[in-house]
């Protein structure tokens, strides 16, 4: 069993002969320092480093490398030695080679293994930033037994500062000596990074760096250590800065081995690349957020889960705040009442003082609650700041640059952003509202008059126009995130009133046909889709999905209905209800752009229809509840930046792909 | 820890505890003969009640696994118990740094939902663990406890800027935490 240590955690060691494996995506120098029970290094001869690689019971490699194996024999240590610290340092950046801070490279991974390769404990050193030297682990004697502890203490001042901290008088000389030795070694190794060889190469020789220093510097400045891969790339067989060292027993080598067992077309068979983890918090300040810091098989799934995590956190932290404020106010009310009813308070200033005290107690608690809410909101804002830019188009706002670099996707995304959610207490933060795809229910863009939040009055004509614009933006997004030809949009616009709003769809030619007009058009489109639902249902229920006619279009269908119930007779209304109930399971969805009041004449008949649809509004409105505490969240529709052509550009690309597409 | 003893949740190095876990473990009832499924299962439930100024504000139990503010989480209901070797069968995690400011006491209780008294339950224990490093802060043995079906285990309350835990171990009777409210209020 491997113990995955976290910073500060320790683990007993049962063997005395050990190997310490280091894997950092970039060349590093490894050293080991011996110290006494007070943690003091007595002299340079207590340090094994590239310039003097062999000490009693200890051997390190002579050069900087991305992968190291250090040999340790704890039995060979003298009695005075109580601690063996394993140190890593980045080579001095003199030659311009390699990054000079750990924050710019992948988190180094350190494992303690037995001689047979079985891992005893491992530790990934996260949370480093400006540091160029770090104490990775220490093996220490405790009551006669040896243990390993994950340390992860970094030093921005490099090895010199590190050694000085451990009480070594010649810290600076030793550090520069190591730098020199590393530079010599580096000069040798940079030229020809030999490919990693077989199992036979298990010598003390440092495993050859898989990356040259220039490549190693690639992730510099990038906040996300793992490149987002939305394509169908299996993670196995992917080159680049990965922990790559031999040993079949090592789970981390599974994807770097010579034989790639993963199926090229099957994504889930390969283990997912490790998620970027948030570095542990510096004491006294919250951890820096990282995009994709959640569980999942792909970056997309991680971001999805992260967004939901932020959603839940905001819901709960706001619940804490509201509950505290409610409590404070009810306590104040009670105290004020008490002060009022106490006859002693009727005379003199006593009553005033009591009231004053009650108010002060209330505002003090509210202030405290506000402080913790502000702290949490600030943390979420910081997280949103790194998450938003990392989002793929389907999750991103229209103003995200990824929409300008839009390409027609090859796969259906997990979810779609329908807009933003926010709470009044936490104005600065917007949570992306992500809805899983394929859609499970239809959408209803409410063109009815709502009491808008900012008090501005939108007349019903404007509201209808806004609703239709919003519907078009949603439909465009759906078209864009599906692979070419896998999403078809039909439009019913009986009176032709939505023609202007529909222009981006009609002019780019991404919809199946011109918007159906008049009662005849409504009947025709509904009949076609109803028949389709029947046909697919029959095939699925009969257990013969192959029995569909050849050339049958298997794409998802979306029907946009404007101006309901204009142009609808009773039969058409029934067909619409049928589509709402039965359509989603066979990939036929409805998007109603309607004012519920206008169809009030149908009475309660249509209630199930509206209930079955997810209501969205064209203006901000607080009608959505979260699943945890049920706050009313303000929904904001996804706004296309004013004057931006992004929608049209994206749709043009979609139309192009549909024309030239494979079907 | 003994009944009534209070320990401060300040760590030795000056930092205070940020996360504690109340773990509950007990041994499942032994299988009986032919109709093994008719074994009378033992279902103990751990609950945590959050109080603000002696008013219950929120409860975390098997029907409400996460307090609204997210600071107290129940890992889920275990209906039958475990092998009785010291592992937690139910646990409640408290993130002390995130507990809302007005909550000043959290009371942990254990109930026997199926009605067995603690005399009949084998190897039952309840413990408080420092979640950050897995160290056990306190442990109670419930087995052979006596003819009662519930126990008010401990309370964690604010003490200046930090938290203090007081071991209570008061016996009580009840099926769920609601039945215990009268017994809880005097210990606040």
Collect all residues of chain B within an 8 Å Cβ-Cβ radius of residue A365: 101-102
β-bridge mates for residue A562, sequence order: A593
Give which of A316, A326, A374, A629 to mutate to test B binding, by max B Cβ within 10 Å: A316
**Which of A313, A319, A369 lies nearest to residue B68, judging by beta carbons?**
A319
**Which of A9, A324, A628 lies nearest to residue B102, judging by beta carbons?**
A324
DSSP state of A49: B
Task: Compare all CA atoms of chain B with the CA of A312 and give the residue at the minimum distance.
Answer: B70
pLDDT band with cut points at 50, 70 and 90 for residue B83? confident
pLDDT band with cut points at 50, 70 and 90 for residue A94? low
pLDDT band with cut points at 50, 70 and 90 for residue A253? very low
The pLDDT value given to residue A52: 82
Structure tokens at A348: 């003199």
Judged against a pLDDT cut of 70, whether residue A455 lies above it is answered with no
Closest CA to B103 of B158, B66, B168: B158
Q: Encode pLDDT of A318-342 as tens digits.
A: 999 999 999 999 999 998 888 888 7
Q: Rounded to an integer, what distance in angstroms lies between the CA atom of residue B81 and that of residue B123?
A: 10
Judged against a pLDDT cut of 60, whether residue A284 lies above it is answered with no
Q: Rounded to an integer, what distance in angstroms lies between the CA atom of residue A141 and that of residue B9?
A: 29
**Which of A317, A365, A368 lies nearest to residue B69, judging by beta carbons?**
A317
Collect all residues of chain A within an 8 Å Cβ-Cβ radius of residue B70: 312-313, 316-317, 319-320, 628
The dihedral through the CA atoms of A70, A74, A76, A79 has a sign that is: positive
Is the pLDDT higher at A550 or at B48?
B48
Q: Rounded to an integer, what distance in angstroms lies between the CA atom of residue A485 and that of residue A655?
A: 9
Helix (H) / strand (E) element for A302: namely helix A299-341
Judged against a pLDDT cut of 90, whether residue A220 lies above it is answered with no
The pLDDT value given to residue A283: 56
Judged against a pLDDT cut of 80, whether residue A403 lies above it is answered with yes
The pLDDT value given to residue A396: 93
Judged against a pLDDT cut of 50, whether residue A228 lies above it is answered with no
Q: Encode pLDDT of A608-643 as tens digits.
A: 889 999 999 988 888 899 988 889 999 999 888 888
Question: Under an 8 A CB cutoff, do A324 and B58 touch?
Answer: no
**Which of B52, B68, B133 lies nearest to residue A316, judging by beta carbons?**
B68
Sequence-distant (6+) residues with CB within 8 A of A632 are: A622, A623, A624, A625
What is the gyration radius of the CA atoms in chain A, in angstroms? 32
The pLDDT value given to residue A61: 80
Average pLDDT over all residues of chain A: 79
Judged against a pLDDT cut of 90, whether residue A431 lies above it is answered with yes
Question: Under an 8 A CB cutoff, do A369 and B58 touch?
Answer: no
Judged against a pLDDT cut of 50, whether residue A564 lies above it is answered with yes
Domains delineated in chain B: 6-28+37-187 (2.60.60.30)
The angle that helices A646-660 and A460-481 make with each other, rounded to 10 degrees, is: 40
Judged against a pLDDT cut of 70, whether residue A224 lies above it is answered with no
Question: Under an 8 A CB cutoff, do B70 and A316 touch?
Answer: yes
The distance of B21 to chain A (nearest Cα, Å) reads 18
SS3 assignment, position A634: strand
The pLDDT value given to residue A542: 80
Question: Under an 8 A CB cutoff, do A319 and B70 touch?
Answer: yes
Give which of B11, B69, B94, B131 to mutate to test A binding, by max A Cβ within 10 Å: B69
SS3 assignment, position A284: coil
Contact yes or no for A244/A238 (Cβ under 8 A): no
C-alpha distances (whole Å) from A389 to each of A402, A412, A436 are 8, 20, 20
The distance of B131 to chain A (nearest Cα, Å) reads 13
SS3 assignment, position A538: helix
Mean of pLDDT values over A497-520: 87
Topology (CATH) of A3-216: Lipoxygenase-1 (2.60.60)
Pairing mode of beta strands B105-112, A109-114? unpaired
Task: Kindly report whether the global pTM for this prediction surpasses the value 0.80.
Answer: no
The pLDDT value given to residue A662: 46
Q: Please state the separation of Cα A535 from the chain's center in Å.
A: 40
Q: Encode pLDDT of A58-68 as tens digits.
A: 888 877 777 88
From chain A, which residues contact B within 8 Å (Cβ)?
8-9, 283, 312-313, 316-317, 319-321, 323-324, 327-328, 331, 365, 368-369, 372, 628-629
Q: Encode pLDDT of A256-283 as tens digits.
A: 445 655 555 554 445 556 666 655 555 5
The pLDDT value given to residue A489: 92
Question: Under an 8 A CB cutoff, do B101 and A331 touch?
Answer: no
Mean of pLDDT values over A466-483: 92
Q: Tell me the residues of chain B between 83 and 142 that have a Cβ less than 8 Å away from chain A.
A: 98, 100-102, 133
pLDDT band with cut points at 50, 70 and 90 for residue B67? very high
**Which of B53, B66, B100 lies nearest to residue A323, judging by beta carbons?**
B100
The pLDDT value given to residue A362: 92
Contact yes or no for A382/A278 (Cβ under 8 A): no
The pLDDT value given to residue A497: 87
Mean of pLDDT values over B148-159: 87
Residue whose pair of structure tokens reads 């692979």 in the numeric block: A483
Judged against a pLDDT cut of 50, whether residue A78 lies above it is answered with yes
Contact yes or no for B143/B136 (Cβ under 8 A): no
pLDDT band with cut points at 50, 70 and 90 for residue B129? confident
Task: Compare all CA atoms of chain B with the CA of A329 and give the residue at the minimum distance.
Answer: B102
**Which of B66, B101, B133 lies nearest to residue A324, judging by beta carbons?**
B101
Range among A419-428, A449-458, B175-184 rated most confident = A419-428
Tell me the count of A-B CB pairs closer than 8 A: 53
Cis peptide before A273 (omega within 30 of 0): no
Residue whose pair of structure tokens reads 């971001």 in the numeric block: A303
Q: Tell me the residues of chain B between 13 and 72 that have a Cβ less than 8 Å away from chain A.
A: 15, 52-53, 55, 57-58, 66, 68-71
Collect all residues of chain A within an 8 Å Cβ-Cβ radius of residue B100: 320-321, 323-324, 369, 372
Collect all residues of chain A within an 8 Å Cβ-Cβ radius of residue B52: 327
Task: Compare all CA atoms of chain B with the CA of A370 and give the residue at the minimum distance.
Answer: B101
Collect all residues of chain B within an 8 Å Cβ-Cβ radius of residue A368: 101
The distance of A463 to chain B (nearest Cα, Å) reads 36
For A551, other C-beta atoms within 10 Å of its C-beta total 6
Q: What is the ipTM of this complex?
A: 0.86
pLDDT band with cut points at 50, 70 and 90 for residue A463? confident
Task: Compare all CA atoms of chain B with the CA of A284 and give the residue at the minimum distance.
Answer: B15
The distance of B126 to chain A (nearest Cα, Å) reads 25
Q: Where are the beta strands (DSSP E) in chain B?
A: 6-8, 19-25, 44-52, 55-60, 72-74, 90-95, 105-112, 125-130, 135-141, 150-159, 162-172
Judged against a pLDDT cut of 70, whether residue A96 lies above it is answered with no
The pLDDT value given to residue A615: 92
The CATH number of the domain covering residues in A435-544+552-657 = 3.40.50
Closest CA to A556 of A462, A416, A431: A416
Contact yes or no for A107/A224 (Cβ under 8 A): no
Give the whole-number percent of chain A exceeding pLDDT 70. Answer: 81
DSSP string, A305-374: HHHHHHHHHHHHHHHHHHHHHHHHHHHHHHHHHHHHH-GGGGSTTHHHHHHHHHHHHHHHHHHHHHHHHH
**What is the four-CA torsion angle of A27, A177, A30, A81, rounded to 10 degrees?**
-170
The pLDDT value given to residue B134: 82
């Amino acid at each position: 069993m491997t113990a995955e240590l976290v910073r500060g955690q320790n683990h007993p060691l049962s063997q005395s002969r050990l190997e310490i494996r280091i894997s950092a995506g970039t060349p590093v120098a490894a050293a080991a320092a011996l110290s006494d029970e007070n943690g003091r290094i007595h002299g340079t001869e207590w340090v094994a480093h590239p310039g003097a690689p062999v000490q009693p019971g200890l051997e390190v490699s002579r050069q900087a490398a991305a992968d190291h194996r250090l040999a340790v024999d704890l039995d060979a240590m003298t009695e005075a030695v109580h601690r063996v610290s394993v140190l890593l340092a980045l080579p001095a950046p003199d030659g311009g080679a390699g990054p000079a801070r750990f924050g710019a490279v992948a988190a180094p991974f350190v494992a303690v293994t037995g001689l047979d390769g079985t891992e005893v404990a491992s530790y990934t050193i996260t949370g480093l930033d400006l540091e160029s030297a770090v104490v990775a682990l220490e093996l220490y004697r405790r009551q006669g037994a040896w243990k390993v502890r994950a340390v992860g203490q970094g030093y921005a001042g490099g090895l010199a500062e590190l050694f000085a901290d451990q009480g070594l008088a010649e810290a600076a000389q030793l550090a520069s000596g190591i730098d020199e030795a590393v530079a010599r070694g580096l000069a040798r190794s940079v030229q020809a990074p030999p490919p990693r060889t077989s199992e036979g190469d298990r010598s003390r020789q440092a495993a050859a760096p898989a990356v040259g220093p220039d490549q190693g510097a690639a992730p510099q400045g990038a906040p996300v250590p793992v490149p987002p891969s939305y394509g169908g790339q299996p993670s196995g067989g992917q080159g680049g800065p990965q922990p790559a060292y031999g040993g079949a027993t090592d789970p981390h080598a599974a994807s770097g081995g010579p034989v790639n067992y993963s199926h090229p077309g099957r994504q889930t068979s390969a283990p997912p690349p490790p998620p970027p983890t948030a570095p542990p918090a510096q004491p006294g300040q919250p951890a820096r957020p990282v995009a994709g810091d959640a569980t999942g098989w792909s970056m997309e799934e991680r971001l999805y889960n992260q967004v939901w995590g932020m959603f839940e956190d905001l819901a709960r932290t706001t619940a804490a705040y509201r509950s505290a404020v409610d409590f404070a106010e009810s306590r104040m009310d009670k105290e004020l009442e008490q002060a009022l009813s106490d006859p002693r308070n009727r005379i003199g200033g006593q009553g005033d003082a009591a009231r004053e005290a009650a108010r002060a107690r209330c505002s003090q608690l509210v202030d405290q609650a506000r402080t913790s809410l502000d702290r949490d909101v600030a943390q979420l804002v910081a997280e949103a700041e790194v998450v938003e830019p990392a989002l793929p188009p389907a999750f991103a706002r229209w103003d995200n640059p990824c929409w300008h670099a839009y390409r027609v996707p090859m796969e259906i995304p997990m979810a779609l952003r329908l807009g933003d959610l926010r709470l009044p207490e936490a104005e600065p933060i917007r949570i992306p509202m992500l809805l899983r795809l394929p859609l499970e229910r239809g959408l209803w863009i409410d063109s009815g008059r709502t009491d808008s939040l900012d008090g501005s009055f939108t007349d019903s004509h404007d509201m209808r126009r806004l609703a239709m614009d919003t519907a078009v933006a949603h439909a465009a997004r759906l078209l864009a995130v599906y692979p070419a030809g896998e999403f078809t949009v039909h439009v019913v616009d009986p009176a032709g009133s939505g023609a202007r709003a529909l222009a981006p769809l009609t002019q780019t030619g991404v919809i199946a046909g011109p918007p159906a007009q008049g009662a005849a058009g409504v009947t025709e489109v509904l009949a076609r889709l109803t028949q389709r639902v029947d046909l697919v249902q029959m095939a699925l229920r009969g257990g013969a999905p192959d029995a569909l006619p050849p050339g049958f279009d298997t794409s998802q269908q979306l029907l946009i209905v404007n101006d309901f119930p204009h142009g609808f007779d009773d039969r058409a209304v029934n067909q619409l209800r049928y589509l709402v109930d039965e359509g989603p399971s066979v990939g036929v969805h409805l998007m109603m752009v309607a004012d519920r009041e206008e169809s009030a004449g149908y009475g309660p008949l249509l209630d199930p229809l509206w209930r079955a649809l997810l209501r969205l509004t064209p203006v901000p409105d607080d009608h959505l509840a979260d699943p945890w505490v049920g706050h009313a969240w303000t929904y904001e529709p996804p706004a296309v930046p004013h004057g931006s052509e992004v929608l049209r550009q994206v749709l043009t690309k979609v139309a192009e792909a549909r024309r030239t597409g494979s079907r | 820890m003994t009944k009534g003893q209070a320990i401060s949740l300040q760590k030795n190095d000056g930092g205070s505890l940020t996360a504690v876990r109340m773990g509950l473990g007990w041994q499942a009832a032994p299988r009986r003969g032919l109709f093994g499924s008719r074994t009378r299962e033992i279902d103990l439930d751990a609950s945590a009640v959050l109080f603000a100024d002696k008013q219950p504000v929120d409860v975390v139990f098997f029907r409400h696994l996460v307090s609204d503010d997210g600071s107290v989480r129940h890992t889920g209901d275990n209906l039958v118990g475990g092998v009785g070797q010291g592992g937690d069968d139910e646990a409640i995690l408290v993130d002390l740094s995130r507990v809302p400011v007005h909550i000043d006491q959290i009371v942990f209780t254990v109930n026997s939902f199926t009605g067995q008294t603690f005399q009949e339950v084998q190897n039952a224990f309840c413990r408080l663990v420092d979640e950050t490093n897995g160290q056990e802060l306190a442990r109670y043995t419930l087995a052979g406890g006596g003819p009662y079906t519930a126990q008010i285990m401990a309370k964690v309350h604010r003490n200046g800027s930090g938290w203090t835990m007081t071991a209570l171990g008061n016996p009580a009777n009840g099926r769920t935490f609601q039945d215990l409210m009268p017994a809880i209020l005097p210990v606040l």
